[in-house]
Amino acid sequence: MAVPRSRDFIDLYSILQKGPAWSIDGLVRKAQIKFNTFVDPLQLGAQFLRATELKDYPRMIIPLDTKSWQDFFVTEAERIARGEIDNT
C-alpha cells in the first residue's frame, strides 16, 4: 500500500477547489468504474484523517494555508462517517 504524502492531499484539494464539476463523490464513482473496484468509505475516511498527521510539505509556488486543506479532508472524513458520500 502506498504511503500518503501531503503533496497528494494538496493536489487533490487543489483539483477539487476548481469548481462544482469536481467532488469526492464523483471521483470515487469514476475510480470505481475505471478500476472496476470498490472504494471502501471507511478506508477512505481513515486516509483523509491522515492529512493532519503529515508534515512533509512540498515547496509551494502558490501559497496555500495548511489548515485550509487539512480541515477540508477532516470535513470530508466526517461526511463519510455520517454516510453522506454517494459512491453508487
Q: How confident is the model at residue 87 (pLDDT cuts 50, 70, 90)?
A: low
Examine residue 25 and state whether it is found in any structural domain, yes or no: yes
**Is 88 a residue whose pLDDT tops 70?**
no
In tens, the pLDDT along 25-59 reads 999 999 999 999 999 999 999 999 999 999 888 88
Q: How sure is the predictor about 22, in pLDDT bands with cuts at 50, 70 and 90? A: confident
Is residue 68 situated within a structural domain?
yes
Q: Is residue 18 part of a domain?
A: yes
pTM: 0.86
> 87 in a domain, yes or no?
no
> In one letter, which amino acid is 52?
T
Domain count, the chain: 1
Query: Cα(first)–Cα(last) distance of the chain, in Å?
Result: 24
* pLDDT score of 1: 57
Q: What are phi and psi of 37, to 5 degrees?
A: -145, 165
User: What integer pLDDT is reported at residue 49 of this predicted model?
Assistant: 96
The secondary structure element, H or E, covering residue 76 is helix 66-81
Which domain does 61 fall in, by range? 6-81
Pull the grid cell for residue 20: 462544482
